[in-house]
Amino acid sequence: MKETLRTLVESFGPSGHESEIMDLIEDMIKEYVDDTYCDSIGNLIAVKKGTSGGKRIMFAAHADEIGVVVTHIDDNGFLRFASVGGLSPFTLPGNRVRFADGTIGVIGREKGDFKDITLDKLFIDIGVADKDEAAAAVQVGDFGIMHQECIDLGRRMTAKSMDDRIGCVVLIETIKKVQDTPHDLFFVFTAQEEVGIRGARTSAFAIEPDLGIAIDVTLTGDTPEAPRMEVSLGSGAAIKIKDSSLITHPKVKALMTRLAEAGDIAYQYEVLERGGTDAGAIHLSRTGVPSGTISIPCRYVHSVSEMVDKNDVQACIDLVAAICGDDLKELQ
């Protein structure tokens, strides 16, 4: 799991540019499923056929990550940029950006109070002397990602783009674990979640699931002076009750709770006051789909050092696998 995570978080996949990460995932899973394919928006879909008489279950973890897009190059070769997804300017100065071709830049900032920092006061310095030298490496319109190594802290791990590569790891490990299932399972590694839950919308329309489950990170309330929130690292898989995009269907909450209890899987309930996941799009597909989200508790979300607990990740894998093998009586 550790090496899978490292490979995924250190690969390149800002929203709309997910082909490298999708190829990596496809290679990891194709021998364990009946079929894999990419759709036109860039989602990777892996299908595991059920034995018979089951439901169609869609699991979604987004493979894209937040990043930057170059908007302007000045005469001295400094790059100005806009955000791709929810990038906070406070997390950026001093950090590094990597472009698709491997070019690295450092984020600097203009003078002024740190509390007044906005994205347009920041720039990327790729170590060149002027505009021509910069333009030889990077063009306006190029996408970049944050550049940071993945570290194993023992109990926990920290990396950039845990959101949502750790969700992808949960699906990959589940795919390897699930043997027989009555259900047709659709594991979707979605594109463009960070810019507005786009890939989940088109893939759910095509799949027409009976049950939709997103796997994504959520915030925690367990650091000094954190906003009040019950979720904490190490307390298990977080069964989402609500966020801005979804109210988990009561039957789906009951299903997940029963399976966690029966399987001795550590779990906690999550109420997230702001934010959403792929389930926000899935549950509104066509005439509606009973949906829920299994969240991996994560500190420092949308920074270059997001942190998760290994036991929580395992609990999420166990819970997703339990859904795959269950008779889903709540949905009958």
The catalytic site residues sit at 193
Strand partners, 78: 125
Listed ranges 94-102, 119-127, 157-165, 184-192: which one lies at the site for Zn ion (CB under 5 A):
157-165
In the complex, minimum distance from the CB of residue 319 to Zn ion, in angstroms, rounded to a whole number: 18
CA-based nearest residue to 151, from 142, 162, 136: 162
Per CB under 5 A, 173 contacts Co ion: no
Kind plus residue range of the DSSP H or E element containing 122: strand 122-125
Listed ranges 110-118, 163-171, 199-207, 247-255: which one lies at the site for Co ion (CB under 5 A):
163-171
Listed ranges 8-16, 158-166, 234-242, 278-286: which one lies at the site for Zn ion (CB under 5 A):
158-166
Q: Show the CA angle centred on residue 172, arms to residues 195 and 301, nearest 5°.
A: 40
Q: Smaller CB distance to Co ion: residue 263 or 275?
A: 275
In the complex, minimum distance from the CB of residue 192 to Co ion, in angstroms, rounded to a whole number: 12
Q: Which residues touch 164 (CB under 8 Å, ≥6 apart)?
A: 61, 62, 63, 65, 193, 215, 216, 217
Q: Show the CA angle centred on residue 174, arms to residues 39 and 239, nearest 5°.
A: 95
In the complex, minimum distance from the CB of residue 217 to Co ion, in angstroms, rounded to a whole number: 7
Per CB under 5 A, 164 contacts Zn ion: yes
Listed ranges 12-20, 43-51, 123-131, 208-216: which one lies at the site for Zn ion (CB under 5 A):
208-216
What b/e sequence results for 226-239 when a residue is b if at least 16 CB atoms lie within 10 Å of its CB, and e otherwise? eeebebbbbbbbbb
Q: What is the rounded distance in angstroms from the CA atom of residue 92 to the CA atom of residue 122?
A: 8
Q: What is the rounded distance in angstroms from the CA atom of residue 277 to the CA atom of residue 197?
A: 7
In the complex, minimum distance from the CB of residue 40 to Zn ion, in angstroms, rounded to a whole number: 22
Q: Smaller CB distance to Co ion: residue 54 or 67?
A: 67
In the complex, minimum distance from the CB of residue 332 to Zn ion, in angstroms, rounded to a whole number: 31
**Which one of residues 18, 64, 65, 163 is an interface residue with Zn ion (CB under 5 A)?**
163
189 near 172, Cβ under 8 Å? no
209 near 185, Cβ under 8 Å? no
Q: Smaller CB distance to Zn ion: residue 73 or 279?
A: 279
Per CB under 5 A, 163 contacts Co ion: yes
Per CB under 5 A, 312 contacts Zn ion: no
Per CB under 5 A, residues contacting Co ion are 163
Per CB under 5 A, residues contacting Zn ion are 163-164, 216
